[in-house]
């Protein structure tokens, strides 16, 4: 059983489109995250949710909107995609905000 | 504020040689520290962690790290490198005040046959 699963794994889309990435965890964790990894492998946190409540909202464009319908899901919706949005996006979850995070396999987004 | 510094974005070692990946942190409170590994086209996998207790922590795949408070370091070591250890390694610190993780910029390990 996959602990943290993201779909799709690859996403190629044109500039200006709107797309969503889905994330689900079956670990019973309270906290979920979205990270962006750029071409230099640098990991930057975007959002953190705890029990469906937004905890962290780092400086990301408001074109990015997370949605947590329940504790096990944290989806990422991106409006008006730009070339600079191309990256690998990782979903993660943890039992609380201090213990280690478990990561999904990532979604490689390519904007053309 | 918390931060993590990984010295050396690229490290190359010969197969069978010692692996040493450096990590220094800054933290205003006693930190929780982690090392993650990322194999190509995969997510991050926890190698080991330090929270409290013994300062020498053993992880998976023969890796270990030692928390040295006086040096604010948490270096990752492995006595003998295998080809399968080639990957990207990330050090992370948990900010227990803001409740989030800070990752270092990563170190790419190459193992030369």
Q: What is the pLDDT of residues A81-92, one digit of tens each?
A: 999 999 999 999
Q: Which of A60, A67, A63, A66 is nearest to A80 (CA)?
A: A63
The alpha carbon of residue A98 is apart from the nearest alpha carbon of chain B, in Å, by: 6
User: Where do we find the tokens 């504020």?
Assistant: B1
**How do strand A10-13 and strand A107-111 relate by DSSP bridges?**
parallel
Q: Which residues of B touch A97 (CB under 8 A)?
A: 94, 99-100
Residue B61: strand, helix, or coil: helix
Contact between A56 and B90 using a beta-carbon 8 Å cutoff: no
Nearest by CB to A55, from B94, B99, B106: name it. Answer: B99
Task: Enumerate the β-bridge partners of residue A34.
Answer: A47, A91
- Residue A42 contacts by C-beta under 8 Å, 6 or more apart in sequence? B103, B105, B106
Q: What are the φ/ψ torsions at residue A85 (nearest 5 degrees)?
A: -80, -10
Q: Which residues of B touch A100 (CB under 8 A)?
A: 34, 46, 49
Q: Which residues of A touch B108 (CB under 8 A)?
A: 41
Nearest by CB to A100, from B42, B49, B88: name it. Answer: B49
Instruction: State residue A97's pLDDT score.
Output: 61
pLDDT in tens, B32-60: 999 999 998 888 999 999 988 899 999 99
pLDDT in tens, B3-29: 899 999 999 999 999 999 999 998 877
Q: Which residues of B touch A33 (CB under 8 A)?
A: 101
Instruction: State residue A51's pLDDT score.
Output: 80
Q: How confident is the model at residue B97 (pLDDT cuts 50, 70, 90)?
A: low
The alpha carbon of residue A14 is apart from the nearest alpha carbon of chain B, in Å, by: 22
Mean pLDDT across A1-5: 83
Contacts with B, A 59-88, CB within 8 Å: none
How remote is the C-alpha of B38 from its chain's centroid? 11
Residue B34, token pair as written in the block: 């982690």
Does the pLDDT of residue B2 top 80, yes or no? no
């Amino acid at each position: 059983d996959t602990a943290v699963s993201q779909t799709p794994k690859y996403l190629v889309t044109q500039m200006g489109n709107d797309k969503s990435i889905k994330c689900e965890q079956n670990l019973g964790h309270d906290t979920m995250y979205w990270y962006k990894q750029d071409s230099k492998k640098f990991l930057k946190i975007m959002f953190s949710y705890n029990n469906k409540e937004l905890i962290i909202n780092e400086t990301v464009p408001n074109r990015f909107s997370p949605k947590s319908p329940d504790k096990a899901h944290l989806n990422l919706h991106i409006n008006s995609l730009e070339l600079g949005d191309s990256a690998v996006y990782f979903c993660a979850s943890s039992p609380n905000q201090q213990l280690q995070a478990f990561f999904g396999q990532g979604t490689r987004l390519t904007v053309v | 504020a918390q931060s993590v510094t990984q010295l050396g974005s690229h490290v190359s070692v010969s197969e069978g040689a010692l692996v040493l990946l450096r990590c220094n942190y800054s933290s205003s409170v006693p930190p929780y520290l982690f090392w993650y590994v990322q194999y190509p086209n995969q997510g991050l996998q926890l190698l080991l962690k330090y929270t409290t207790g013994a300062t020498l922590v053993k992880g998976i795949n023969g890796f270990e790290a030692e928390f040295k408070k006086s040096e604010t370091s948490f270096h990752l070591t492995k006595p003998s490198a295998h080809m399968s250890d080639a990957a990207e390694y990330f050090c992370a610190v948990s900010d227990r005040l803001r409740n989030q993780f800070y990752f270092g910029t990563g170190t790419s390990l190459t193992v030369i046959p």
